[in-house]
Amino acid sequence: MSAFTVKHSDDNARVGVLSTAHGDVATPAFMPVATQGSVKSLDPADLRAINARIVLGNTYHLYLRPGIDIVELHGGLHRFMAWDGPILTDSGGFQGFSLEHLRKIDEDGILFKSHVDGSMHKLTPESAIEYQERLGADVIMPLDVCVAADSDKAAVAAAVEQTNRWAERCKETHTRTDQLLFGIVQGGLFPDLRQRSAEHLISLGFPGYSLGGLSVGESKEDMYEGVAAAAELLPSDTPRYLMGVGSPEDLVECVARGIDMFDCVLPTRIARNGALFSRDGRINIVSAPHRRRDEPLEEGCDCYTCQTFSAAYVHHMFKAGELLAYRLATIHNLRFVLRLMEEMREAVANAEFDDYRTAFHARFVPPDQRARHEQKTKWLQSQGRPGA
Amino acid sequence: MSAFTVKHSDDNARVGVLSTAHGDVATPAFMPVATQGSVKSLDPADLRAINARIVLGNTYHLYLRPGIDIVELHGGLHRFMAWDGPILTDSGGFQGFSLEHLRKIDEDGILFKSHVDGSMHKLTPESAIEYQERLGADVIMPLDVCVAADSDKAAVAAAVEQTNRWAERCKETHTRTDQLLFGIVQGGLFPDLRQRSAEHLISLGFPGYSLGGLSVGESKEDMYEGVAAAAELLPSDTPRYLMGVGSPEDLVECVARGIDMFDCVLPTRIARNGALFSRDGRINIVSAPHRRRDEPLEEGCDCYTCQTFSAAYVHHMFKAGELLAYRLATIHNLRFVLRLMEEMREAVANAEFDDYRTAFHARFVPPDQRARHEQKTKWLQSQGRPGA
């Protein structure tokens, strides 16, 4: 029986259900990131309250600290972090990219210098799978080689070949039948390399496919194009997981291109800096206009923060350096993103996704368009017309 | 009608009820400290879950940030911090002591240099009351002069006289009938000065009395003696609030001496450093023995942390620098202290307080006795006898 069922399609966007050993996940799904076994500043009850269905942990980090043995002692990551819903673990391949100065890659695997204590550790396709079997996540990733967006074609080709060979070794090693091992498509922005990667993985046969090496420095347009092309290469009856993407505008655009699963630290990371999502874009809660705002951060938001506190209180928590600030902001941003996913699922089910997407972009101004948008609004106002 | 009723007495220890505009508080009560409008790392739901009944805010801090006007805009501190239970505010007098390098005291009041931005601010008995009326706490404090434990008698006498004169001005200024304005007894460790302070305040007549200027550097024995003597000077039908005291051993000893209310940052502050309460004393959760402890921090503890996570997980949160560590630790320590208060109330009601106190001390080893205790235990073991 397949672990994934598509329930509705609307052009390339689709709604489905991913079945895991710890429950079903409605897709498109956003996965909050619990790198070290905790979604930063939140507890499991918070995650349930915002309707998170699946969270992501990281093998590399958990291997170094607390150590696989400690998690195993607890019967796995679910009990260790007191989260009985689905978990996906990344393999550590991405850390071979993001911690570039700390690693060396060869045929055998990735040699890391620990960011915790400087000790040396090798992650191989086999050990990455062994560790993930012991962590016990519901969806696991093979070890892959990820390269920067501006890498030359030879480097990307080498990464694809290495990832393909490692995918075979991972598949051979993997034994737990209650875990879904995905394949990771690499190839950056080179269509032929991406095709080669996808075709090889499909020939091996995986219950789902991840898109790696996107959102690693390329422009948004290039990323969207790469996502669309990659999605087309993949079977329509398996889930497509776009790794590391999660700004609201990217979520909408990539759902439009057929992506089913996402993870990203952006909503939680910027929350801790006071950048909070609203339907009109990001607001900086620490800025002066929020000092006297005796109203929720965002009208109509159903999160605990907005239902309980004023924007002025959240502003005060940040200004006063209170720890509660981080949790309140994180709850709001994650709930914003998860509500976006809920709305997109509904729009797709009702075959109204295109309208939803248009309405979203009519209001939501991403940070990189903020200056242009404000200029345009001012110009329209100077012409006696309402803002764009 | 009196705001305070003694329900049971057991020697000097007593159980009572303090009635406030936002509900009743069973005494002896411990008040978690929300200096800036937040009990550090917790939200109001957390406070309810640990059975906190009353919390403390600070006029000096809230006046500087966010400003009384912002809190007033929300209709007061209760709605601002989303806490509908009783609140007590301190006047700022203690900050005239603790921020010594930042203030100048004269007959009129205390001139502060803001710790936030260096600006100058004057707190007078009148403005301290005005601000507290606008903050809207249920129990408020007069402006007082607090001096260090090692001050000479002339300095303590001057502080008593100043506090007495300010108490009169505060009482005259205070108009809100839904707030209880306490008097603050000063006098340090000088019995005659303490008596002078108490007698003057009693002649003015307050619905409750605070003991200030204790736990400011003196020995525990001196503090206990001072508390016992001061409690004897005060009417038996009004609550006695010992300001700034809150280690478990001090709570037990001061309840034994007739104290009804306490506040202290110690349980929350040490929690954030990984020092967690157990029946046997403090444990350092960051230390190695907890790395593999797949069991609650403390067996039998009913707090969310102990009911949900292992000691190993809390250890990991601290080691990994996860924000969740602070909240989990704070919940545990506050619940420990609040449970202690619940148990003491029950023991007093059952006229078994002395047994409770003895049993508590037989297990709980305070940090300053740890070395001596370990030496004694080792010696007993070397003699073939079980540990003390």
Query: In terms of DSSP H, where are the helices of chain B?
Result: 44-49, 59-64, 68-73, 77-80, 95-98, 125-135, 153-173, 191-204, 220-233, 248-256, 266-272, 304-308, 311-319, 324-349, 353-363, 367-382
pTM: predicted TM-score of the whole model, two decimal places: 0.95
Indicate yes or no: CB of B70 within 8 angstroms of CB of A292: yes
Name the residue among B36, B74, B326 with its Cβ closest to that of A294: B74
Q: Is A237 known to be catalytic? A: no
When scoring B323, B328, B330 by the number of chain A Cβ atoms within 10 A, the one with the most, hence best to mutate, is B323
Indicate yes or no: CB of B322 within 8 angstroms of CB of A38: yes
| Residues A337-362, mean pLDDT to the nearest whole number | 98
- The lowest-confidence range among A79-93, A98-112, A195-209, B70-84 is A98-112
Is the model's pLDDT at A56 over the cut of 90?
yes
Per the residue annotation, which of A90, A138, A144, A260 is the catalytic one? Answer: A90
Closest CA to B82 of A309, A304, A319: A309
Indicate the Cα dihedral angle A137, A139, A141, A147, nearest 10°: -110
- Chain B residues with CB-CB distance to A316 below 8 A: 36-37, 65-66, 70
Q: Six-digit token pair at B260?
A: 């009804």
pLDDT in tens, B78-125: 999 999 999 999 998 888 777 777 788 999 999 999 888 889 999 999
Query: Mean pLDDT across chain B, nearest whole number?
Result: 94
The per-residue pLDDT for B377 is 73
How far does Cα B228 stand from its chain's mean position? 17
Place of tokens 């607090």: B146
The per-residue pLDDT for A377 is 73
Distances (CA, A) of A354 to A29, A330, B199: 18, 29, 78
Indicate yes or no: CB of B313 within 8 angstroms of CB of A82: yes
DSSP string covering A314-366: HHHHHHTT-THHHHHHHHHHHHHHHHHHHHHHHHHHTT-HHHHHHHHHHH-B-
Distances (CA, A) of B342 to A7, B27, B324, B353, B356: 54, 9, 27, 12, 12
Is the model's pLDDT at B16 over the cut of 50?
yes
| Residues A18-47, mean pLDDT to the nearest whole number | 98
Interface of A with B (CB under 8 A): 36-38, 40-44, 65-66, 70, 73-74, 80-82, 291-292, 294, 304, 308-310, 312-313, 315-317, 319-320, 322-324, 326-328
Name the residue among B74, B292, B322 with its Cβ closest to that of A70: B292
- Chain B residues with CB-CB distance to A322 below 8 A: 36-38, 40
Give B385's pLDDT tier (boundaries 50, 70, 90).
low
All structural domains of chain B: 4-264 (3.20.20.105), 271-382 (no CATH)
pLDDT-above-90 percentage for chain A: 84
Q: B72 with B88: CB under 8 angstroms?
A: no
pLDDT in tens, A189-239: 999 999 999 999 999 999 999 999 887 788 899 999 999 999 999 999 999
| Residues B173-184, mean pLDDT to the nearest whole number | 98
**Edge-to-edge strand ranges of the sheet holding A180-181:** A55-58, A87-90, A139-140, A180-181
What is the CB-side half-sphere exposure of residue B266 using CA atoms within 13 A? 19
Indicate the Cα dihedral angle A59, A60, A62, A66, nearest 10°: 150
Give A1's pLDDT tier (boundaries 50, 70, 90).
low
- The lowest-confidence range among A147-151, A347-351, B190-194, B209-213 is A147-151
| Residues A60-87, mean pLDDT to the nearest whole number | 97
pLDDT in tens, A230-278: 999 999 999 999 999 999 999 999 999 999 999 999 999 999 999 999 9
The per-residue pLDDT for A147 is 86
**Phi/psi at B25 (5° precision):** -125, 120
| Residues A42-69, mean pLDDT to the nearest whole number | 97
- The lowest-confidence range among A383-387, B205-209, B221-225, B274-278 is A383-387
The answer to whether the bond into B366 is cis (omega within 30° of 0) is no
Q: Is A11 known to be catalytic? A: no
- Chain A residues with CB-CB distance to B322 below 8 A: 36-38, 40
Distance from CA of A328 to the nearest CA of B (A): 9
Measured CA to CA, the distance from residue B252 to residue A324 in angstroms comes to: 30
Indicate yes or no: CB of B40 within 8 angstroms of CB of A313: no
Indicate yes or no: CB of A74 within 8 angstroms of CB of B312: yes
Place of tokens 């260096």: B118
Indicate yes or no: CB of A312 within 8 angstroms of CB of B36: no
| Residues B7-11, mean pLDDT to the nearest whole number | 98
Measured CA to CA, the distance from residue A295 to residue A306 in angstroms comes to: 8
Indicate yes or no: CB of A36 within 8 angstroms of CB of B316: yes
pLDDT in tens, B208-244: 999 998 877 888 999 999 999 999 999 999 999 999 9
Is the model's pLDDT at A388 over the cut of 50?
no
Measured CA to CA, the distance from residue B290 to residue B275 in angstroms comes to: 12
Distances (CA, A) of A379 to A281, A371, B206: 20, 12, 64
The per-residue pLDDT for A379 is 74
The per-residue pLDDT for B369 is 80
- Chain B residues with CB-CB distance to A41 below 8 A: 323-324, 327
The per-residue pLDDT for B387 is 44
- Chain B residues with CB-CB distance to A65 below 8 A: 316, 319-320
Q: A212 with A245: CB under 8 angstroms?
A: no
The per-residue pLDDT for B388 is 37
- Chain A residues with CB-CB distance to B303 below 8 A: none
The per-residue pLDDT for B1 is 58
Indicate yes or no: CB of A319 within 8 angstroms of CB of B73: no
Distance from CA of B89 to the nearest CA of A (A): 18
- The lowest-confidence range among A119-123, A157-161, B98-102, B111-115 is B98-102
Indicate yes or no: CB of A66 within 8 angstroms of CB of B317: no
When scoring A265, A316, A317, A332 by the number of chain B Cβ atoms within 10 A, the one with the most, hence best to mutate, is A316
How far does Cα A226 stand from its chain's mean position? 17
Buried b (16+ CB within 10 A) or exposed e, A140-168: bbbbbbbbebebeeeebbbbbbbbbebbe
The per-residue pLDDT for A387 is 44
Closest CA to A80 of B154, B377, B312: B312
Is the model's pLDDT at B268 over the cut of 70?
yes
Q: Six-digit token pair at B343?
A: 């148990």
What is the sign of the dihedral through the CA atoms of A252, A253, A257 and A259? negative
Is the model's pLDDT at A115 over the cut of 90?
no
Give B101's DSSP letter.
G
| Residues A31-52, mean pLDDT to the nearest whole number | 98
Q: Which residue of B has its CA nearest to A315?
A: B66
Is the model's pLDDT at A375 over the cut of 80?
no
pLDDT in tens, B309-357: 999 999 999 999 999 999 999 999 999 999 999 999 999 999 999 999 9
| Residues A342-346, mean pLDDT to the nearest whole number | 98
Place of tokens 């309250």: A49
Indicate yes or no: CB of A324 within 8 angstroms of CB of B80: no
Distances (CA, A) of B293 to B31, B297, B313, B324, B379: 31, 8, 8, 18, 28
The per-residue pLDDT for B216 is 78
Give A381's pLDDT tier (boundaries 50, 70, 90).
confident
